[in-house]
Amino acid sequence: MKGQGDAMRDTAPEEGYVTADGRKIGGVAMEMRNITLRFGGVVAIKDISFDIRWGEIRAIIGPNGAGKSSMLNVISGFYHPQEGDVIFKGYKRPKMRPYQVARMGIARTFQNIALFEGMSVLDNIMTGRLHHMKANLFQQALWWGRAQREEDENREQVEKIIDFLEIQHIRKTPVARLPYGLKKRVELARALAAEPSILLLDEPMAGMNVEEKEDMSRFILDVNDEFGTTTVLIEHDMGVVMDLSDRVVVMDYGKKIGDGTPDEVRTNEEVIKAYLGVAHE
Amino acid sequence: MPDTLLFAMEATLNGLTAGVMYALVALGFVLIFKASGIFNFAQGVMALFAALTLVGFQSGQIPFSHLINAMFGTRLHHFGWNMPTLLAIPATVLVMILLAVLVERFILKHLVNQEPIILFMATIGLAYFLEGVGDIMWGAEVKALDVGLPKGMSGAVDDVTFAWFGYGFYIDRLEIWAAGIAALLVAALTVFSQYTKQGRALRAVADDHQAALSVGISLRFIWVLTWSIAGIVALVAGIMWGSKSGVQFSLSLIALKALPVLILGGFTSIPGAIIGGLIIGVGEKLFDFFMSPIIGGATENWFAYMLALVFLLFRPQGLFGERIIERV
């Protein structure tokens, strides 16, 4: 298993490359090294290694219960693996709380949308910028000097994202009143507001109709194109994943069974087995 | 103007000022409930503890002196100096912040993701613990608290009302001050929660823990912050009530009066706490004024709770509380 993973890691050249559609993919941003995660006796992730490159869209796919969300939670610091290391920007990351990981520039969305329901769309997105604000309490309370400048800058950045994701019309609406598809988009906006170096999307298209899926795919591609955001996404819908991503990790029962470009993964026998089902001997 | 109307007007004014005092206590509850969904049973005791500490500092009392004397046979009581009020209040604020840190460190941290009822039980424990600590630390006797706020009948109100109606209203100057301070407090809290980074983080934590973590908010920091603010609000309430009726252990029972205020105003609304307090205050005084001659006295003891019961029947979320919607 390990040997296979190491071999797979070299599918992309070390020093980065340019994709067919002209996007620049850089060196390794984050590396997951021999990650094992257990919940009591249940092994959710078994000795998985893969890397994420700057600027790429990296997908993690697999059937239900394969451990995809657990993997995302390891990256975002919500879970701590018993074995293995997360290497970020070339350094081994110590055990961190989720908010510390977020402050390092790793933003995420959730499978079951986690928005601040009582706040307006604008306020929700503004929370994404909390750790970009440095003014102290006193300056803020008096709306003075640095505080005012910061608020203006942050508002500008947020408005840019609102325009980009085409949610101007719901700017002041309380989130609780929005339909599901728009909530997903607001959550993406909040994650983007943090100007993340890595963006984690947990099933961004779950529960959407075809039209909404198309919109969301377009946004994910545009975000990557426009801001060069490194994106890691989990998705069930094979078609969507294959169209979107540069490289794909395939998981099944907590193990990695494939890793490579969409074309490579599509022809991988183990992947076909896991997805289409082959009689177990 | 008929006398009854004048008396009723005076009762209403008194009710308004009394209501402000209730609102001050209710405010502390709302803050913690909003940020963490915990009904903090210890809020009343925190007000008592803050007032005890303030008096202790002011009079230069040695904390735990009874305990130290009992253990080592010494005869310690006072440091022999008095701390000026302007110094004693910041010192007490520091103690309340320390208390917030300890509460987070020893209680909340270990109860993350527990049911609200478990956290509620923990605050009952905290209430009894804090009452005991206050007793051992500063002694159980009733103490007078004087922070230099004016007391007694307000001459201005008396003069003006006498000139208008030929009958001077009796309003305690302390209660007028309390109303002013409460207004300042609410304004400060509103500015804090709406316009500062920490305030926005606080509202975020109140709404969704997981989402708050994902945007880089430290839950522990926010909890310490919330409990510190609640501690400071408790200090303000403690000062007001302590100045009015002395610092005594029955002070912790005013927390019970805050309960109907909260039911009226809604557990999650700061303006609700104020309006709720005013309604209870005025309602109590007017009901007492009109009904006492008919059904006998002491209606103030139960009127607030009866009003709360009626509210629970018709508007369980309170006047300003967030509507509880369960989606199926």
Plot region of A105 (φ>0 → left; ψ -120 to 50 → alpha; else → beta): left
Q: Which residues fall within 8 angstroms of residue B75, CB to CB, at 6 or more apart?
A: B69
Query: Of A142, A169, A195, which residue constitutes the final position of a domain?
Result: A195
Contact check, Cβ <8 Å, A130/B192? no
**Interval A229-242 mean pLDDT:** 87
**How many other C-beta atoms can be found within 10 angstroms of the C-beta atom of residue A13?**
9
Plot region of A89 (φ>0 → left; ψ -120 to 50 → alpha; else → beta): left
ipTM: 0.81
Tell me the per-residue pLDDT of B143-190, one tens digit each, with 9 for 90 and over.
888 888 888 888 888 888 888 888 888 888 888 888 899 889 988 888
Contact check, Cβ <8 Å, B191/A141? yes
pLDDT averaged over every residue in chain A:
85
CA–CA separation, B312 and A51 (whole Å): 57
CA–CA separation, A179 and A222 (whole Å): 23
Tell me the per-residue pLDDT of B98-114, one tens digit each, with 9 for 90 and over.
999 999 999 988 887 78
Contact check, Cβ <8 Å, A123/B200? yes
Minimal Cα–Cα distance from B298 to chain A, Å?
Answer: 42
Cα distances (Å, whole numbers) of residue A163 to A168, A219, B11, B161, B317: 6, 12, 57, 59, 37
Cα distances (Å, whole numbers) of residue A200 to A76, A79, A80: 8, 14, 17
pLDDT band at A9 (very low <50, low <70, confident <90, very high): very low
Contact check, Cβ <8 Å, B204/A103? no
**Interval B21-39 mean pLDDT:** 85
Closest Cβ–Cβ partner in A98, A128, A135 for B213: A98
Cα distances (Å, whole numbers) of residue B141 to B43, B145, B242: 21, 12, 13
Indicate if the pLDDT at residue A3 is higher than 50: no
**Interval A245-253 mean pLDDT:** 91
**How many other C-beta atoms can be found within 10 angstroms of the C-beta atom of residue B34?**
22
**Interval B285-314 mean pLDDT:** 87
CA–CA separation, B139 and B67 (whole Å): 10
Contact check, Cβ <8 Å, B211/A78? no
Structure letter (DSSP) for residue A172: T
Chain B residues near residue A76 by CB distance under 8 angstroms: 214
Indicate if the pLDDT at residue B37 is higher than 80: no
Are residues A227 and A90 part of one domain?
A: yes
pLDDT band at A145 (very low <50, low <70, confident <90, very high): low
**Position A246: which residue type?**
D
Minimal Cα–Cα distance from B239 to chain A, Å?
Answer: 25
Are residues A202 and A187 part of one domain?
A: no
Overall number of domains in chain A: 2
Q: Is residue A116 part of a domain?
A: no
Q: Is A128 within 8 Å of A156 (Cβ atoms)?
A: no
Q: Is residue A111 part of a domain?
A: no
Are residues A208 and A188 part of one domain?
A: no
Which of helix, strand or coil describes residue A114? Answer: coil
Q: Which CATH number belongs to the domain containing residue A259 in this structure?
A: 3.40.50.300
Are residues A87 and A47 part of one domain?
A: yes
Are residues A189 and A71 part of one domain?
A: no
Indicate if the pLDDT at residue B301 is higher than 60: yes
Are residues A201 and A136 part of one domain?
A: no
Chain A residues near residue B216 by CB distance under 8 angstroms: 99-100, 102-103, 130-131, 194
**Interval B202-222 mean pLDDT:** 88
Which of the residues A101, A111, A116 would you substitute to probe the B interface, choosing the one with the greatest number of B C-beta atoms within 10 Å?
A: A116
**Interval B215-230 mean pLDDT:** 91
How confident is the model at residue B126, as a pLDDT? Answer: 95
pLDDT band at B24 (very low <50, low <70, confident <90, very high): confident
CA–CA separation, A129 and A133 (whole Å): 7
pLDDT band at B35 (very low <50, low <70, confident <90, very high): confident
Chain A, nearest residue to B209 by Cα:
A114
Are residues A54 and A81 part of one domain?
A: yes
Contact check, Cβ <8 Å, B215/A190? yes
CA–CA separation, A163 and A178 (whole Å): 18
Chain B residues near residue A114 by CB distance under 8 angstroms: 208, 210-211, 214
* Residues of the domain holding A86: 2-105+197-276
pLDDT band at A56 (very low <50, low <70, confident <90, very high): very high
Q: Is residue A115 part of a domain?
A: no
**Interval B4-23 mean pLDDT:** 88
Indicate if the pLDDT at residue B257 is higher than 50: yes
Which of the residues B200, B209, B213, B215 would you substitute to probe the A interface, choosing the one with the greatest number of A C-beta atoms within 10 Å?
A: B215
Indicate if the pLDDT at residue A1 is higher than 50: no
Cβ-based contacts under 8 A for chains A and B:
82
How confident is the model at residue B149, as a pLDDT? Answer: 85
| DSSP-derived secondary structure for A35-90 | EEEEETTEEEEEEEEEEEETT-EEEEE-STTSSHHHHHHHHTTSS--SEEEEEETT
How confident is the model at residue A11, as a pLDDT? Answer: 41
Closest Cβ–Cβ partner in A108, A115, A194 for B208: A115
CA–CA separation, B194 and B39 (whole Å): 23
Is the minimum CB–CB distance between B211 and chain A shorter than 8 Å?
A: yes
Tell me the per-residue pLDDT of A107-125, one tens digit each, with 9 for 90 and over.
999 988 899 988 899 999 9
Q: Is residue A110 part of a domain?
A: no
Query: Strands of A255-260's sheet, edge to edge?
Result: A106-108, A198-202, A230-234, A57-61, A247-252, A255-260
pLDDT averaged over every residue in chain B:
87
Tell me the per-residue pLDDT of B117-140, one tens digit each, with 9 for 90 and over.
898 999 999 999 999 999 999 988
Chain A, nearest residue to B323 by Cα:
A118
Residue B213 or residue B2, greater confidence: B213
Burial A48-81 (b: 16+ CB within 10 A, else e): bbbbbbbbbbbbbbbeeebbbbbbbbbbbbbbeb
How confident is the model at residue A227, as a pLDDT? Answer: 86
How confident is the model at residue B315, as a pLDDT? Answer: 83
Query: Of A164, A195, A226, which residue constitutes the final position of a domain?
Result: A195
Which of the residues B197, B218, B220 would you substitute to probe the A interface, choosing the one with the greatest number of A C-beta atoms within 10 Å?
A: B197
Query: Of A142, A164, A195, which residue constitutes the final position of a domain?
Result: A195
Q: Tokens 């103007």 identify what position?
A: B1
Are residues A190 and A217 part of one domain?
A: no
Indicate if the pLDDT at residue A2 is higher than 50: no
**Interval B94-99 mean pLDDT:** 96
Residue A6 or residue B151, greater confidence: B151
Give the range among A58-62, A249-253, A277-281 with minimum mean pLDDT: A277-281
**Interval B83-91 mean pLDDT:** 92
**pTM for the complete prediction?**
0.81
Q: Is residue A16 part of a domain?
A: yes
Which of helix, strand or coil describes residue A248? Answer: strand
In the numeric block, which tokens belong to residue A54? 């700057």
CA–CA separation, A98 and A89 (whole Å): 18
Are residues A23 and A34 part of one domain?
A: yes
Chain B, nearest residue to A100 by Cα:
B216
**Interval A212-224 mean pLDDT:** 91
How confident is the model at residue A138, as a pLDDT? Answer: 64
Are residues A53 and A29 part of one domain?
A: yes
Q: Is residue A231 part of a domain?
A: yes
CA–CA separation, B17 and A100 (whole Å): 46
Are residues A23 and A93 part of one domain?
A: yes
Q: Is residue A216 part of a domain?
A: yes
Are residues A205 and A101 part of one domain?
A: yes
- Domain assignments of chain B as residue spans, ordered by start: 3-249
- Backbone dihedral angles phi then psi of residue A178, each to the nearest 5 degrees: -85, 150
Minimal Cα–Cα distance from A56 to chain B, Å?
Answer: 22
Q: Is residue A113 part of a domain?
A: no
In the numeric block, which tokens belong to residue A80? 């701590």
